[in-house]
């Protein structure tokens, strides 16, 4: 997996957020001028990042401090810090505002955490479906309020997580070290970056 040094955009406010893995902060860029307007200190080794545009909140996974920093996009300060199990090594994250869920991939512990975005409560620690996770990488909201996808670069599969009971079911198989997952919510096509064979697979419904 590449170094988790990532970026997310808030289309409503035209702000772009970049995690500085080695500096333990998040750079806030004004998309109108493309300049850094603030730097927000977070936890240790921030990587995964996701924006809730509707609430103007930014969720940052601090890999080495096993926490999630919640940045208020209006004040550029950390409003809340959610605590994960002390052994956690949080990686990529996805937020589903319609379900108040934050999905956190932990490839080191081979689990996906689900947090309540309002309270920070740990709702579930998902270990997989019929076949346990071996290397969950990148969660992505598939059907808002209903399902989330998670790539697993060791299982060579993208699996589906129910947002009602957090059960894992089969999704797409046949890739080679799938990494990034993205969904076009207009066309409902799912795109998976396959690091192992230098391809992107587009799954059309």
In the complex, least distance from residue 64 CB atom to another protein, rounded to whole angstroms: 16
Q: Which is nearer to another protein, 116 or 162 (CB)?
A: 162
Torsion of CA 188, 14, 33, 182, to 10 degrees: -30
Q: Which is nearer to another protein, 35 or 118 (CB)?
A: 35
- In angstroms, the CA 45 to CA 129 distance is 30
Angle at 34 between CA 29 and CA 38, to 5 degrees: 30
Q: Is 100 helix (H, G, I), strand (E, B) or coil?
A: coil
In the complex, least distance from residue 98 CB atom to another protein, rounded to whole angstroms: 16
Q: Which is nearer to another protein, 118 or 198 (CB)?
A: 198
For residue 3, give both structure tokens.
Answer: 């170094």
For residue 52, give both structure tokens.
Answer: 């809730």
- For residue 115, report the phi and psi dihedrals to the nearest 5 degrees: -115, 150
Q: Which is nearer to another protein, 2 or 118 (CB)?
A: 2
In the complex, least distance from residue 72 CB atom to another protein, rounded to whole angstroms: 18
Tell me the sheet residues that pair with 19: 26
Tell me the sheet residues that pair with 52: 57
Residues in the site for another protein, rule: CB under 8 A? Answer: 1-9, 11, 14, 16, 18-20, 22-23, 25, 27, 29, 31, 34-36, 38-39, 49, 138, 160, 169-174, 179-187, 189, 191-195, 198-205
In the complex, least distance from residue 178 CB atom to another protein, rounded to whole angstroms: 10
């Amino acid at each position: 997996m590449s170094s988790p040094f990532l970026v997310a955009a808030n289309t409503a406010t035209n702000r772009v957020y970049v995690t500085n893995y080695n500096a333990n902060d998040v750079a806030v860029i004004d998309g109108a001028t493309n300049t850094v307007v603030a730097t927000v200190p977070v936890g240790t080794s921030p990587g995964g990042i996701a924006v809730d545009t509707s609430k103007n909140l930014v969720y940052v996974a601090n890999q080495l401090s096993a926490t999630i920093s919640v940045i208020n996009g209006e004040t550029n300060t950390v409003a809340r810090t959610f605590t994960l199990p002390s052994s956690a090594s949080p990686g990529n994250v996805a937020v589903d505002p319609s379900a108040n869920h934050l999905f956190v991939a932990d490839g080191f512990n081979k689990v996906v955490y689900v947090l309540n975005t309002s309270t920070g409560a740990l709702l579930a620690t998902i270990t997989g479906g019929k076949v346990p996770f071996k290397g969950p990488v990148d969660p992505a909201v598939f059907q808002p309020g209903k399902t989330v996808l998670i790539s697993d670069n060791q299982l060579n599969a993208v699996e589906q997580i129910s947002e009602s009971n957090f059960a894992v079911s089969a999704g797409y198989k046949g890739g080679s070290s799938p990494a990034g997952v993205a969904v076009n919510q207009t066309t409902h096509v799912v795109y998976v970056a396959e690091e192992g064979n230098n391809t992107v697979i587009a799954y059309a419904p």
